[in-house]
Amino acid sequence: MPNVPARDAAVHMTTYRRQPLTLVRGEGTRVWDDEGRSYLDFIAGIAVDSLGHAHPGLTEVIAKQAGTLIQVSNLFYTEQQVELAEMLVKHSALDKAFFCNSGTEANEGAIKLARKWGIANRNGAYEIIAANNGFHGRTLGSVAATGTPRYREFFGPGMPGFVFVDYDDVEAIKAATTPTTAAVMLEPIQGEGGVNVPAPDYLKRVREWCDQNGLLLILDEVQTGTGRTGALWAYEHAGVEPDVMTLAKGLGGGVPIGAILAKDHCAIFEPGDHGSTFGGNALASAAATYVLRQLIDGGVLANVRTRGEQLERRLAGLEDRHESVVGQRGAGLMRGVVFDTDIAVDVATRAMNHGLLVNPVRPNVVRFLPPLNVTAGEIDAAIDIIDTALTEIASA
């Protein structure tokens, strides 16, 4: 095969720090490069490939739908979109859905929804309180809500209306609330921020504050949703219900789709307020409906809980074996292992050389996001490779 990285460099904007791999096919939790080497894929498209690669059932659904109807725009009804919306509403605490194509679009729409609601219901309030180290996307609106300055600072004046506080600090949210506050926007677990898990009562206390002050609670479940943490939605762990929830990533099993779900009292978009040409098209909706059925009725959600417990145990074993491992955090099959120094890139590179793909999400944190139907043997094989990588680093 001609040199894909060299061809890419000639024609592609350099927006990604790519690994020196050209992947050509996948099956289950494994992918293969253009030289025939195989890898356990514990990135899964960054929490996207819920059912792994080339899942037979999902492949069949996509092929069948592609043979009848892919896209007709939202000027018309399709049964596939309605069926997906019905399923999401039935199996969540929310009442209405809007479909788009990605997590950043879902968060962009949620910001618009919160602003419209605040202007109409809180005397013109439009500000949103968000968290430091949070990540909500790359568009100008969603990046303005992202609590990591390096994602925002190179693009001129940011969109106003966002106030940042430390994550897992309810008192900071209280102090930041003013008459212009419309909503609080948080991830149940911060993904790109380093798999940061708040105190067990954090979201419950934030929910109480929002209720007391008439604020919307927006939960960004783009990464934590669709079974990733062992519950269908991560808010279930906290025993709270959001007013608005955003979804994407694993929802379509690899097919691009995003969604905003909202309770009736704040689902106030009217015709012309918002839209999406491709959002919730028949192909993406059919794929997402199949993924949800596998989670709910196909045993995949139970597998996340079982394999998540196994992954937690195996990572605890690394803490016992290696001084460089100082902790782990996460839930279900969303885990980060924490090192005492900034060796995450080295760990991930050595792991790749031994046949495992993981993501160094922070200089001292490697993130594990395997497919939700990963097997026990694959979990063990992955941790054995990390064990080998850490042993090599210690002896280097």
Just list the catalytic residues.
Answer: 135, 220, 249
361: left (phi over 0), alpha (psi -120 to 50) or beta: alpha
| Among candidate residues 306, 324, 366, the one with its CA nearest the CA of residue 42 | 366
Angle of helix 376-395 versus helix 344-353 axis, rounded to 10? 120
Q: How many angstroms separate the CA atoms of 115 and 126, rounded?
A: 5
**Burial class of residue 195, CB neighbours in 10 A (0-12, 13-18, 19+):** buried
Phi/psi at 2 (5° precision): -55, 155
Q: How many angstroms separate the CA atoms of 13 and 10, rounded?
A: 9
DSSP string, 180-246: TEEEEEE-SSBTTTTSB---TTHHHHHHHHHHHHT-EEEEE-TTTTTTTTSSSSTHHHHT---SEEE
CA 55 to chain centre: 20
Do residues 290 and 304 lie in contact, with contact meaning Cβ atoms separated by under 8 Å? no
**Alpha helix segments (H runs only) across 145-184:** 170-176
Do residues 283 and 79 lie in contact, with contact meaning Cβ atoms separated by under 8 Å? no
